[in-house]
Structure 1
Amino acid sequence: MDESMAGAARHALNLELPAPPLALLQMAALLAEPSCDIDALADIIETDMALSAALLRTVNSAFFKLSGRVQTVREAITYLGYREVGSITLQNGLRAAFPPAPELESLWQRSTERSRWMGAVAQALGFDAWAAHSAGLFEECGKALLFRHATSAYRSIWQQAPTDDAALVLHEMQAFGASHDILGAALCETWGLQAAAAHSVRCHVAMHATLALSGPVGHRRIAAVSVLAHHATKPAHELERCIESIAQQLELPSARIRAAIPSPRARAETST
């Protein structure tokens, strides 16, 4: 399904994409720049009291284990760095756009873990870490859109293929005429994310299944990190096949890709 078909499907479903707060649009544009003005980032986040409060609540949680309590957005950036603060703010904004539900809690947890992993691997490879992080965060958001649109019907569909996105896409198309990968990409574009992130979200189901990357080189790099994230917890021989395929398509040494992937222990520590 192309973008025009996705738009037609959204219209037929009467499915509205949640609009992002203005601060998130401004933040996404700033973080997409080659360099980030930290004071400008703090000023943008501080214009939205709800985002600022959610950021400080998250930063002061047990996960980050900071020695003292962070009082301001600028302090959070000093402790964690601009990209981590940007990612937390984006995560909180995205979650706030949807009603709470047990199914979505597990989705957001996976999204947070995946986005951190993808951002770290992209940075190690010299790719656009913010685009990779954003792609990882939004990869499953189309499921949240369909869940919000038709909760009972989508819950039933989701339960039929909870871990097989390729099968889930077929069920979604049969039921709604639209699938979560295409709708997720549309949300990426509405929220001002980079084209490479939207492309990764749009194509991730097919690329995870086939390992075949598409698009210009910048898009393929972000998509490659998504494919690596999908295969990182699979048996070693499947991950190795994925690494070799990605290396060949991006014309990179496979050893470089292998070295960028955190060990299973490191990945577990990041997600706890």
Structure 2
Amino acid sequence: MSIDPQLRSLNIDIPACPHTLVKLSLMMGNENAQTDAMAELIESDMALASAIVRTVNSALFGLLHRVETVHEAVRYLGMREVSGITYEMGLRAAFPPGPLIDRIWDRASRRGLAMGRAAQALDLPNPWAAHTAGLFAESGRAVLYAYDRERYTQLEERASSDDALIAAEVAAFGVSHAALGAALCQSWGLASEVGAFVRARPASLDDWAREPLEVRRLLAIGAEIDTALEPAEVPNPQGPALSAQRAELAELEIGQLCDALQRVCEVFAQREIA
């Protein structure tokens, strides 16, 4: 897919999608795709398969039995979650490591898994879109980090809020991480609603209201997941009202949304304690 020429003119590289993920993306969009074929595709990349098995055996997933192959991981977790891990590994490999970027991917891993499971608990039609939306939510930050590591690290450290960071990014680089993340989603062949989610994530609720329903639902779930997984030191007194507004925009019952998120986050909390 083509990238916005204005972004290309900035000379900021958008990493190409790894070949394995190109094929996997096509399979995930095919309702008749066989899980065995997907597992074999992933296992054809030995380094990727090894990283996935290692991740699946981590405390985050809480499996009672150690898995040895991607096929076993699919049997225990399902293809959506294993595919999500595959994309996470692809993202990590596409960018230089470092403390800031490692924190981005650690958040992405938890957010993606939680959003996918929340979407499933809410009986939404595409939990895979929710999972990938969570993974790619902050991916534009990784693009800017790879472009100018020292400068972007300084921006991150000085920014007092997400809005301040966006403004600093535009002033320094001529583009926000949200716009770059949406371009990365497009380049990697993700669903259009995933790119729209990444682009609109830092925007206001008024701007969210202009998005299609499927995007508004991703935005609402993502915002609630972020709040639940990384609560502020000083709780926002407007938090309950914001949650209600997000649920209304997403055309979800607030009680249903809160129940689904609570179940998902309780699982994460139990595993972190363990």
Give the TM-score normalised by the residue count of structure 2: 0.87
Aligned ranges for residues 1-272 of structure 1 at < 5 Å? 7-12=5-10, 14-34=11-31, 36-64=33-61, 66-127=63-124, 128-161=126-159, 164-207=161-204, 212-232=208-228, 233=231, 235=235, 238-262=238-262, 265-269=266-270
1:190 maps to a residue whose letter is: S
1-structure distance, mates of 2:238, 2:223: 12
1-structure distance, mates of 2:15, 2:34: 28
Q: Secondary structure at the match of 2:190?
A: coil
Name the count of aligned residue pairs.
266
Q: Secondary structure at the match of 2:203?
A: helix
1-structure distance, mates of 2:51, 2:189: 21
2-structure distance, mates of 1:176, 1:217: 32
2:72 maps to a residue whose letter is: E
Two-structure CA RMSD over aligned residues (Å): 2.4
- Per mean C-alpha deviation after superposition, the further-off stretch among 81-90 and 43-52 is 43-52
The answer to whether the Cα contact below 8 Å between 2:62 and 2:271 also exists between their aligned partners in 1 is no
Cα deviations across residues 154-184 of structure 1 (Å, max 9, x unaligned)?
Answer: 11111111x6221101000001101100000
- Which runs of no fewer than 5 residues in structure 2 stay unpaired? none
2-structure distance, mates of 1:59, 1:139: 22
Cα deviations across residues 104-152 of structure 1 (Å, max 9, x unaligned)?
Answer: 1111111111111111111111222111111111111111110110111
Cα deviation, residue 250, structure 1: 3.1
2-structure distance, mates of 1:246, 1:15: 33
- Which runs of no fewer than 5 residues in structure 1 stay unpaired? none
Cα deviation, residue 187, structure 1: 0.5
The answer to whether the Cα contact below 8 Å between 2:59 and 2:272 also exists between their aligned partners in 1 is no
> Kindly tell me: are residues 22 and 245 of structure 1, through their superposed partners in 2, closer, same or farther at Cα, counting changes over 3 Å?
same
The answer to whether the Cα contact below 8 Å between 1:27 and 1:41 also exists between their aligned partners in 2 is yes
Give the TM-score normalised by the residue count of structure 1: 0.87
2-structure distance, mates of 1:183, 1:270: 33
2-structure distance, mates of 1:191, 1:105: 20
% identical equivalent positions: 38
1:148 maps to a residue whose letter is: A
> Kindly tell me: are residues 119 and 104 of structure 1, through their superposed partners in 2, closer, same or farther at Cα, counting changes over 3 Å?
same
> Kindly tell me: are residues 230 and 63 of structure 1, through their superposed partners in 2, closer, same or farther at Cα, counting changes over 3 Å?
closer
1:216 maps to a residue whose letter is: P
